[in-house]
Structure 1
Amino acid sequence: MTDLADLVDRSLAPSTRREFDERVDEQAAFLEGEFADGALDNDAFAIGLEMEVYAVAGEATDAAKDAGGATAPCSSCRLHQIPGSVFEDTDAVSKELGLHNAEINTDPNVFDDAGLAAQATAIEMETEKAHAAAGAEGCALVLDAMWTVPPDSGSVEYLSATTDVEGVQLASNMRSDPRYVAIDNDIVERAGGQIDFSVPGADIAFPSILFESLATSIQPHLQIPETASFPTYYNTAIRTLGPLLALATNSPFLPADVYGDVEDPGSLVEDTHHELRIAVFEQSVNETANPKVRVPVDIDDVTDVVDRVVADDVIAPFLREWIAEEPPTAYTDDYWEFEHKRGTYWRWLRCVVGGDPVEGAGDERSVRIEYRPLPTQPTVDDVVGLQALTVGLIRGLVVADHPLAELEWGAAERCFYDVARNGLEADLAWIDADGERTSDPDEIFAEVFEYAERGLDVQGIDDPDEYLDPIRARWKAEMAPSDWKKARVRESLADGADLETAITEMQRDYIAKSRETESFVEWL
């Protein structure tokens, strides 16, 4: 039996579950003791970022070189798998679920003027390195929230292709990482052999969770130095999910060939969600008794973040000794199985315990918010702006003792899902600085930017507008990237194109603009 098949079989064995649960319980008790002892407190706020991308390539005769020497997207580009050398050439690029996906990460920095500038520089430089590495292999990386131009095989065929290795199902275009494969087999079995996916214009059943790899996202991180105040930051952040997503929506269309023969393309453009990646992620993995991808409920104490992971449904448990070649050395090795389980605690907002040391902020013993609902943006400047808006807003609301956390949790949840469907035209929910409930977008976004500025200012950022203006311009123009995509498809349909052609033209135009412009503002 192959090592991969053996690991998957061991992961799904009942005896593993019992041992795994025992270790998680023991490690949770350890972490709660760490909180009680103040061991996870730190000296300062810190920030970091994860950014997912995908690759495209086209006919060699269409290929061109951009100013940095990387292959630029061509007029016939399609989804493309990322060669292994791309991951070898830069440490900041790591593999993701699909063979066409990658993730670009920044090292964390203190949340101050120099630290935020360092984040911006790191995102730009690592993205350029990744572009160059991909370009050397004849493909291009795209900053986008969902790929819509399919590979030659077709989207459904690509996402559905599987092989069997000694009783273990392998999705052909998924990374052959034992953890991914075990998760896939576990969820598919719970779903009865296939996973149903339904959004406007498409009803499909997939034999794998790989359709989750349609979507890409960014995840800003905010480290909280005083763990006793973590619940305040966490609960406040929940109430920002809807308004911040409204400014960021970027995935209104599935791959063009998924829709087939649409009787009324214009109605589909109107009905499709502004942020389909929310539905994609939730429907691809929510097959447990308690949905794993959802808006989290409030916490009362910082130790609740540990209890929530312990209580979460178990998917594909692993034991450290199966895959670890070195003896425990890192802090997270003290709770390896707990951390493995937290990796499938897929709430739209979650807590991360432990991480890289941050000079000036503390060691690897820390606690931070991982903000997960935001799609990847068109350009680096847009990504940086949204990161600054997110961490600045959460910090500003709390430091000003803003009453937003008093908003009913259910209203915040409804707002989030309405935004995923309707974007900037959603029914928003907010408590203003005077403690009054409001759904007025003008009032809400005025406060969003006001308190983001306050948060950045209190952290010593010299020019908050430098970071916030590219995102603020979206509200002034009432246009997020998803609005631009819908408008572009409407134009093509009006000119006589069919839906598949209209989506394909829009996507290739998007890819070109994302590489040719500094910010989405230039598209407005």
Structure 2
Amino acid sequence: MGADRDLVDSVERSLAAETREEFDRRVRAQADRIRDDIRAGRLDTGEFAIGLELEAYAVDGQGRLARIPEDAFERGGFAKELGVHNLELNTAATVFDAAGVAEQADRLKSSAAAATDALEADDLAPVLDAMWTIPPAMGTDDYLGSVETRAGITVAEHMRQHPRYVALDEEIRERSGGRITLDVPGVSLDYPTILLESLATSMQPHLQVPAVEDFPAYFNAAVRTLGPVLSLTSNAPFLPADCYDDDPDIVEATPHELRIHVFEQSINADAPRGEGMVRFPDDVSRATDVVDRVVADETYAPVLADGEENPDDYRTTIREYDHKRGVHWRWVRGVVGGQPVGAAKTGASLRIEYRPIPTQPTVRDTLAVQLLVVGLVRGLVAADHPVTDLPWTAARDCFYDAVARGPDADLAWVTASGDRTDDSEVVYDELFAFARRGLREAGLDDDVIDGYLDPVERRRDGTVPSAWKKARVREAVADGATLSEAIERMQRAYFDHAGGETAFVDW
């Protein structure tokens, strides 16, 4: 009962008007400090650096979604996420050079192995996948819909009992009339909490920019790459199998990247596209724009930090700002703080967090996509490529077309010679040419670069995870399976390969 009361008290404090007023005051004051540090060059590090966040989910011996025991997180060294079935692996930032890239690879492999070992002790396994489709024993509706009310606060049974999540849930529920909905081809879901968002998992490459005055060039270039990169990496065409009626036409109609719909619809409530908490990002003109953006965003679920600030730890001095920035999930965003690599005078940095990519099937594929992203963004700016001449609206439309059609999307690009093109072969030629340019700028040899990029470059013919999943389901339906049976059959075949040493294109 004590823990329940503490949770309710924390949520009630978050929702109180006086908390919001003080929180907003602190955010404004912290934003002023960050702007001053940006303008004075105190966030310059002199180094490119890279890092990664990788989300996954856990299954039991029958491949069903499963709760992760609390002690597994400590044993495995991985982090908690929204759902009790979710986990997150992280690679600490390293210098973006040959040695740093090799260290990223080693850290990613060891983190994945540690998670596997820790969960194995409980007869569970982590799955590198972007959407769980085999539901737990109780079924998807009961799992996502199970709630209890504690002193007027609605708490999802299978959500992490953390005040931040519960308070955010309360606010979004209130703003959406108490129900969170998802409408996609063949499925309309309706649940009492935002736990729906825990269906989806992602990987998020990070790129630390050495000089903040150059940040807009990297950020705006990254925005133009979202559609083409997503077209090569899509991996979430199906919801849990028991959500569907037996309609085989869904296989063609379902988007290749349902994750984007899940995030935007479950978190944005009734906000129009482009105006919610999760959205395609606007360009920036100066580095301070990312700070202004956080201040201007609507406040959700504010939390006032306790404890003294540590002047040697920058993030302890901007905790309310950091909290608010973390609530609004633009598909590319600027992040202040962290553990910088380099000689920043403040002990902090400014980095790009690249957020739209689904979790990939294997560690090798994950590393390939991470290096495609960071190499591409660095290479485009190093070459003074005119990609930002592509209108923002065209980049946005390309992104959402990739969400819908994956490798068959209508791509939008401006070539190195300044020509507008929608020819996918030309776009991919440039994508990998400038990723190579960026990786060479980092000091990697051509044969090493080829080895890293090979698993994703060979997807250019349309062999991407979402297309593989659709093909397996289509084949099973043709063999007489119902749609739900076909999705489960596909997913078990995916489990047989995922997380192994064989790159996805060789499955």
TM-score with structure 2 length normalisation? 0.96
In the other structure, the counterpart of 1:279 is: 261
Equivalent in 10, 17, 25 of residue 13 of structure 2: 10
How far apart are the structure 2 equivalents of 1:237 and 1:438? 18
Pairwise CA RMSD: 1.4
2:466 to 474, 478, 482: 482
Match of 1:417 in 2: 400
CA deviations 1:201-228 (Å, max 9, x no partner) are 1011110000100000000000000000
For 1:408 and 1:443, the matched residues in 2 are separated by 18
What is the aligned partner in structure 1 of residue 486 from structure 2? 502
Q: Distance in 2 between matches of 1:361 and 1:468?
A: 31
Equivalent-residue separation in structure 2 for 1:390 and 1:361 (angstroms) = 24
Q: Which runs of 5+ in 2 are unaligned?
A: none
Residue among 30, 38, 59 paired with 1:27: 30
Which residue is 1:358 aligned to? 341
> 1:357: Cα distance to partner?
3.5
Corresponding residue for residue 38 of structure 1: 41
> Is the CA contact 1:40–1:366 (under 8 Å) kept in the aligned structure 2?
yes
Is 1:451 aligned with 2:434?
yes
Shift of 1:287: 2.7
Cα pair 2:48 2:210 within 8 Å, conserved: yes
TM-fit CA distance, 1:514 = 1.1
**Equivalent position to 2:413, from 430, 455, 460:** 430
Residue 493 and residue 509 in structure 1: after superposition, are their counterparts in 2 closer, same or farther (change >3 A)?
Answer: same
1:409-464 deviations in Å (ceiling 9; x for gaps): 00000000010000011111100111111000000001000000010001101221
Cα separation, 2, equivalents of 1:40 and 1:360: 9
Following superposition of structure 1 onto structure 2, how do residues 23-102 of structure 1 map, counting pairs within 5 Å? 23-58=26-61, 76-91=62-77, 93-102=78-87
Q: CA deviation at 1:469?
A: 0.7
CA distance in 1, matches of 2:136, 2:202: 21
Query: What is the CA–CA distance in structure 1 between the aligned matches of 2:105 and 2:166, rounded to whole Å?
Result: 34
**Structure 1, gaps ≥5 residues long:** 59-75
After superposition, what is the alpha-carbon deviation per residue over 1:125-152, rounded to whole angstroms, capped at 9, x for unaligned?
Answer: 1100110000011100000000000001
| Correspondence for 1:108 | 93
**Is contact 1:45-1:223 (8 Å) kept?**
yes
Whether 1:511 and 2:495 are equivalent positions in the alignment is yes
SS of residue in 2 equivalent to 1:79: coil
Q: After superposition, what is the alpha-carbon deviation per residue over 1:373-413, rounded to whole angstroms, capped at 9, x for unaligned?
A: 00000000000000000000000111001100110000000
2:315 pairs with 1:349:
no
Partner SS state of residue 49, structure 1: strand
Q: In structure 1, what is the Cα distance between the partners aligned to 2:310 and 2:331?
A: 33
Match in the other structure for 2:251: 269
Which residue, 362, 367, 375 being the options, matches 1:384? 367
Separation (CA, whole Å) in 2 of partners of 1:325 and 1:202: 49
In structure 2, the CA distance between the partners of 1:383 and 1:353, relative to structure 1 (3 Å rule), is: same
Q: Secondary structure at the match of 1:309?
A: helix
Equivalent position of 1:317 in the other structure: 302
% identical equivalent positions: 53
Q: Which residue of 2 aligns with 1:400?
A: 383
- Superposed displacement of residue 328, structure 1: 6.8
Describe the shift of the 1:313–1:288 C-alpha distance in structure 2 as closer, same or farther (beyond 3 A).
farther
1:40-96 deviation digits (Å, cap 9, x = unpaired): 0012100000000000003xxxxxxxxxxxxxxxxx3201111112111133x0000
Contact 1:356 1:363 in 2 (8 A): no
Compute the displacement of 1:521 (Å): 1.9
**Mapped contact 1:46–1:361 kept (Cα < 8 A):** no
**Partners of 1:311 and 1:28 in 2: CA distance:** 11
- Structure 2 counterpart SS, 1:509: helix
CA contact (8 A) 1:220 1:390 kept: yes
Q: How does 1:163-182 map to 2 (within 5 A)?
A: 163-182=148-167
Residue 213 of structure 1 aligns with an amino acid whose one-letter code is S
* Whole-angstrom CA distance in 1 between matches of 2:229 and 2:410: 13
Would you say the 8 A contact 2:159–2:195 is kept in 1? Answer: yes
Could you tell me which residue of structure 2 aligns to residue 66 of structure 1? none
Structure 1 CA distance, aligned partners of 2:501 and 2:30?
Answer: 48
Q: How does 1:214-293 map to 2 (within 5 A)?
A: 214-259=199-244, 261-262=245-246, 264-265=247-248, 267-287=249-269, 290-293=275-278
Compared CA separation, residues 412 and 380, structure 1 to 2 (3 A):
same
Asked whether the equivalents of residues 81 and 100 of structure 1 are also in contact (C-alpha less than 8 Å), the reply is yes
Give the whole-Å Cα distance in 2 for the aligned partners of 1:198 and 1:449.
35
Are 1:189 and 2:189 counterparts? no
Determine helix, strand or coil for the equivalent of 2:65: strand
Distance 2:456 2:431 in 1: 11
Describe the SS at the equivalent of 1:347.
coil
Contact 2:455–2:505 (CA<8 Å) still a contact in 1?
A: yes
Q: Give the letter aligned to residue 146 of structure 2.
A: A
Deviations along 1:174-217, whole A, 9 cap, x unmatched?
Answer: 00010001001110011011012100110111100001000000
Mapped to 1, the partners of 2:383 and 2:310 lie a distance apart of 46
Quote the Cα distance in structure 2 between the aligned partners of 1:53 and 1:516.
14
1:515: how far off? Answer: 3.8
Kindly provide the amino acid, as one letter, of the partner of residue 29 in structure 1.
D
Q: What are the residue-to-residue correspondences of 1:100-179 with 2, within 5 Å?
A: 100-179=85-164
Determine whether 1:466 maps to 2:451.
Answer: yes
Aligned to 1:493: 477
Q: What is the total number of aligned residue pairs between the two structures?
A: 499
The SS at the match of 1:370 is strand
